[in-house]
Copies of this chain bind each other. A is one copy, B any other.
């Protein structure tokens, strides 16, 4: 007769595992000797080895009991199900590996390559790192909502960087965010540039992202993001309102209301 330790050693498992199998009813509790020790016979050894064989093959403990009693047909069926589970799990891990391979290179977190190059372009233009990070976070928001369509936005964004006004805008924003003294003139200049760009795009019949977007939540979030990053964004919103635009993250005209520049924000139509 074997003690629990001998049994466990023979089958190559831990004592704790054997007790666990008792607890879940997978291995029957054996007789106890006079001092309360469990005493095992050879059948227990065989059962335990069978259990470990199935467990090592990836069968969950909860199903091992059934499989040991099953006939050949349902055993095979059970094996098929386990294999499906294993394959699915492997596939999950493989895709995780692809993900972290992409994490290892790139802008810290997974963004489409076009966006990563766009951010690098901004850095190359001397744009402040904080502005670049803000841009990146903004694109994270946009990519989360439109993972498939976000790449289509990028050629337009790259084209904009050819316009000296846009470059100037980014530089002014960099100065604002890095600047110590609160210089309202820089904010006004930025607002003027943006309003000018908006006017031109609007006149050309462009709307934001080619007019394909009807869900405004990401833009609201972009505005919040800017506000949370720097409270002076509030002033930008005000300046854009004065120039007839509803904020600066979306390209949307305010209804004309010339005599009350500080009135309540009009509701956006549906």
**A interface list, Cβ under 8 A from B:** 1, 10-12, 41-43, 45-46, 49-50, 53-54, 56-59, 72, 75-76, 79-80, 82-83, 86-87, 89-90, 93-94, 96-97, 99-101, 103-104, 108-110, 137, 140-141, 144-145, 217, 221-225, 228-229
15 residue pairs bridging A and B, Cβ less than 8 Å apart: A41-B225, A43-B228, A45-B221, A49-B141, A53-B103, A56-B99, A57-B103, A58-B96, A58-B100, A59-B100, A76-B104, A80-B104, A83-B101, A86-B97, A86-B100
For the A-B complex with A10-B217, A42-B225, A90-B97 known, give 7 more contacts whose Cβ atoms are closer than 8 Å.
A12-B144, A41-B225, A45-B141, A46-B137, A46-B225, A54-B103, A57-B100
Q: How many copies does the complex hold?
A: 2
Chain A contact surface mostly:
helix
Bound complex: CA A76 to CA B108 (Å): 9
Bound complex: CA A104 to CA B145 (Å): 45
Query: Are A43 and B225 in contact, with the CB atoms below 8 A?
Result: yes
Chain A to chain B: the 8 pairs with minimum beta-carbon distance, closest first = A58-B96, A42-B225, A57-B99, A42-B224, A57-B100, A42-B221, A79-B104, A46-B137
